[in-house]
Amino acid sequence: MTVRLRPAVQATAPPTQGPPIQGPPTHDVVLPRVSTDPLDELVDRIRPTVARAVDALQVAAALEADGCTDRIARVEYGFSDVFMLAAEVFQRLGPPAEAIAEPEEDGGTWRGSLRLIAHGPLYMLPAAVFPAVLGVLGHRSVVLALVVAGGVGWMAAGTVAYAAYQLLGAGRPGAAARLLRLAALLAPALGAAVGTAVMVVAGGGWGLAVLAAGQLTYQLAATVLMFYRREGIQALIMAPAVLAGGAFLVTGPALRPIGLLTAVAGLLGCYAVALRATRGHGADGEPATRPSREGLAGVTAYGLCSAALLLHAEAPYLLTRLDVAVAVAPLMLAMGFVEWRAERFRGAAIRLTRNSFTPADFGRRMWALVGRETVGCLAATALLGLALLAVLAGAGELSGPAALMTAAHVVLGGAYYSAFLLAGFERFGRLCLSIAAALAVHVGVGAGLGAAPLFGRSAAPLTDTALYLGSTVLLLGLFLLGLAPILGQVRHYR
């Protein structure tokens, strides 16, 4: 441990009473001032780092980051652990040099909360016109094109959004805007390539390329609009298409042209507003910071795994069992709610650092927080799932596989809350491995039972959906286990 010596002080012989006494000459003696308490040296050394600390847990985080362990706290300073040592250091520091404001949360106001909750429904708006599209292009190829384009768009949107937020956080709003604009400009070509590939492999006309291009264009445009908080404009532009799609379902083919035209108009409107939103940001002289390559790779891999998790289970039923296929709707609608709760996590965690006084207490409070939020996300998704099951029952389409698949997506609503937290800690490897394990259980066990949801084999939908439910419960457990080593470490919430 580095020790910083204090300046020496000068000591002289004390004055005496009476006349001076002749004797040998005296000399000044310089004695070093040595602290008898090693904590003084520790406080001085760490003060620049924790000058604004407002509680002992922040000091503990700084000590841990500096390499101080429980053993060092016991051997060198005589305290049972780092947290007890930090409490004493915090006491000796005195008042903080500057007050720290409470962290602002994007979902802290009702407007911010509503904006985040709306993300799920906003991504699903184009689904209102899919029935009209199916009647024009045919079912099999259209479904395959939408599935593939949706998966590619999921990965692209996640990667681009991550990189843009990294650039924005590094003080490069202009670079973030340029990246978003480039991604939006490339989206139509990428979608057309996806649609063409589906056409070559599965057959179909050139309309598939147009459909896939529109799908990816909307996903990237929505990402840009959400990045710049233009969700209200997005909903307003797409409202006519949603109304026309609903009218088509009620009245039939007579309104198909109107549904298609309003969908195209809505797509072009969102695209134009998204491109306009990327202009006028940043200035010259921005730092040359780049997003982490490891982070970008992790986000992309996680997007691929997430798309595979959902789409591999849904695809076999899209053409033959729509009662099972629509079971994903509650999860999609609830994803905005899950995102909102995850956005508020960090602020809640920081507040816990200010009223917890031991590691065990802080850990218990953090797990209670995650437990409450997970239950809340499960409840929100379950309410939407019950509404869907009620609609299916009213239409005479409720079945065992539909109920099991809906339950599986309810569980995913809770699992994705932990996934958001793990992504915030950049534990993308853990996320991908957990999803791979859930996929292996679903597909592997299903193959052994003859119910694997691959290559269109869904002859045993009840067994398949039950296995999928089990794999999602496993995934929720794996995500929570992934949080265990890091959730209670206060240094993550400084």
pLDDT above 70 coverage of the chain, percent: 82
The Cα 455–Cα 369 span in angstroms is: 42
Which of residues 439 and 114 earns the better pLDDT score?
Answer: 439
Helix axes 130-137, 207-227, angle to 10 degrees: 160
CA distance 379 to 439: 24
CB 375 within 8 A of CB 414: yes
pLDDT, tens digit (0-9, with 9 covering 90-100), for 68-95: 888 888 878 888 888 888 888 887 776 5
pLDDT top residue among 54 and 172: 172
Rounded mean pLDDT, 244-273: 85
Task: Judge whether 102 and 347 are in contact, CB under 8 Å.
Answer: yes
* Residue 31 phi, psi (nearest 5): -115, 135
Cβ–Cβ < 8 Å for 129, 260: yes
Tokens 């069992």 belong to 321
Which pLDDT band, with edges at 50, 70 and 90, does 3 fall under?
very low
Taking the chain, what is the end-to-end CA distance rounded to the nearest angstrom?
A: 24
The residue count of the chain comes to: 494
The upper half-sphere exposure of residue 425, i.e. CA atoms within 13 Å in the direction of its Cβ, equals 23
DSSP readout, 186-242?
A: HHHHHHHHHHHHHHHHH---THHHHHHHHHHHHHHHHHHHHHTT-HHHHHHHHHHHH
Angle made by CA atoms 119, 124, 127, in degrees to the nearest 5: 170
The DSSP code for 11 is E
- Bridge partners of residue 10, in order along the sequence: 30
Whether pLDDT at 337 is above 90: yes
Give the residue among 330, 304, 302, 325 at the shortest CA–CA distance from 313: 325
The pLDDT, as a whole number, for residue 121 is: 85
pLDDT in tens, 266-303: 999 999 999 999 988 766 567 767 777 888 899 999 99
Band of pLDDT at residue 51, cut at 50, 70 and 90:
low
> Is 412 or 198 the better-scoring residue by pLDDT?
412
Angle of CA points 318, 469, 403, to nearest 5°? 60
**Mean pLDDT of all residues in the chain?**
81
**Residue type at 263 in one-letter notation:** A
CB 207 within 8 A of CB 138: no
* φ/ψ (deg, to 5) at 97: -70, -25
Show the tokens assigned to 307: 């798309």
CA dihedral 383, 384, 388, 393 (to 10 degrees): 10
pLDDT band at 5 (very low <50, low <70, confident <90, very high): very low
Please report, to the nearest 10 degrees, the dihedral formed by the alpha carbons of residues 272, 278, 279, 282 taken in order: 180
* pLDDT of residue 99 exceeding 50: no
Distance from C-alpha of 260 to C-alpha of 130, rounded to nearest angstrom: 9
**H helix or E strand, kind and range, residue 117:** helix 110-117
Query: Closest Cα to residue 328, out of 392, 420, 412?
Result: 412
Tell which residue, 385, 169, 399, has the closest CA to residue 292.
169
Domain residues of the chain, as ranges? 1-8+28-95, 118-291, 294-494
Q: What is the pLDDT of residues 57-75, one digit of tens each?
A: 778 878 887 788 888 888 7
Rounded distance between C-alpha atoms, residue 330 and residue 121, angstroms:
10
What is the distance between the alpha carbons of residues 477 and 331, in angstroms, rounded to a whole number? Answer: 18
Give the span between the Cα atoms of 29 and 301, in whole angstroms: 69
Distance CA 344, CA 30 (A): 58
Q: Using CA atoms, how far apart are residues 49 and 82, in angstroms rounded to an integer? A: 16
* Structure tokens that stand for 272 in this block: 């134009």
Measured at the CA of 336, the angle between CA 264 and CA 130, to 5 degrees, comes to 30
Task: Give the rounded distance of the alpha carbon of 434 from its chain centre.
Answer: 16
Both tokens assigned to 404:
């099991």
How far apart CA 193 and CA 239 sit, in angstroms, is: 28
Mean pLDDT of 308-323: 80
